[in-house]
Amino acid sequence: MSQAVFQRILLKLSGEALIGAQGFGVDPSVAARIAQELHEVCGLGVQVAVVVGGGNFIRGVAASQHGIERVVADHMGMLATVINALALQDALEKAGAYTRVVTAIEMREIAEPFIRRRVIRHLEKGRVVLLAGGTGSPYFSTDTAAALRAAEIKADVILKATKVDGIYDADPAKVTNAKMFARIGYREVLSRGLSVMDTTAISMCMDNSLPIIVFNLNVPGNLKRVVLGEKVGSTVGS
């Protein structure tokens, strides 16, 4: 068996990644595929944490632009991430994985509150930890939540799952000769205004020397390839 190059990873998964062909909500078949890939990565001895977004239901920023008060809209978005975490938990357990859903906002009937040492212990025991509720505070994106949690649990890397192959200097859907970066620095991402993660998240990763690998989750097996150290996607580093 090939050897994983990371011991502990944090996967940043957008809510849109769970939509599939139905256009809204969670497609169980998509959740099952992602869960199977995560379970295979766990089988390599890798400790896995997942921060999931809620954009398949609601985005706080977008909702606030349509008249909902921003703090209220952000709290709605946080609750959407909990729905996604529960859906992914169900899919993971059907795939044979052991899991815990942990939330930044307490809701003890369905999830554990975020306690750093407890989360690390779950990871050490081989459980997939699904980190929901963002940071627990409005005005912060799930990108920032991913950077924060990755630093707190001392993850080796953030794996940013997207629907494109990596980071480009222009939108590859609109510019035919857009160039993909194999590797790029944090400061260049910020100076170019590339939409990798928001500026708060990138700055936090830079301050903590936390690498980010952006890859296409829609290509089956890509997650495992990244974990095994194959040249997949784009890496953001120092």
For the cut 80, the answer to whether the pLDDT of residue 60 exceeds it is: no
Nearest Cα residue to 15 out of 110, 99, 105, 85? 85
For residue 25, the model assigns a pLDDT of: 93
User: What distance, in Å, lies between the first and last C-alpha atoms of the chain?
Assistant: 31
The separation between CA 184 and the C-alpha centre of its own chain, rounded to angstroms, equals 20
Please write the tens of the pLDDT for every residue from 137-166. 999 999 999 999 999 999 999 999 999 999
Instruction: Identify the structural domains of the chain with CATH numbers, from first to last.
Output: 8-237 (3.40.1160.10)
For the cut 90, the answer to whether the pLDDT of residue 61 exceeds it is: no
pTM of the model: 0.94
Residue 105, C-beta contacts closer than 8 angstroms, at least 6 positions apart: 75, 78, 79, 82, 133, 136
pLDDT tier at 218, thresholds 50, 70, 90: very high
The sign of the torsion formed by the CA atoms of 19, 22, 23, 24 equals: negative
Count of residues in the chain? 238
Please write the tens of the pLDDT for every residue from 186-197. 999 999 999 899
Please write the tens of the pLDDT for every residue from 9-45. 999 999 999 998 888 899 999 999 999 999 999 999 9
Burial classification of residue 176, based on how many CB atoms lie within 10 Å of its CB (0-12 exposed, 13-18 middle, 19 or more buried)? exposed
pLDDT tier at 1, thresholds 50, 70, 90: low
Burial classification of residue 117, based on how many CB atoms lie within 10 Å of its CB (0-12 exposed, 13-18 middle, 19 or more buried)? exposed
Tokens encoding 140: 């912060």
Phi, psi (rounded to 5 degrees) for 125? -85, 5
The C-alpha R_g of the chain, in whole angstroms, comes to 17
For residue 172, the model assigns a pLDDT of: 85
Instruction: With residue 47 as reference, give the H or E element that holds it.
Output: strand 47-52
Q: What is the average pLDDT score of the chain?
A: 94
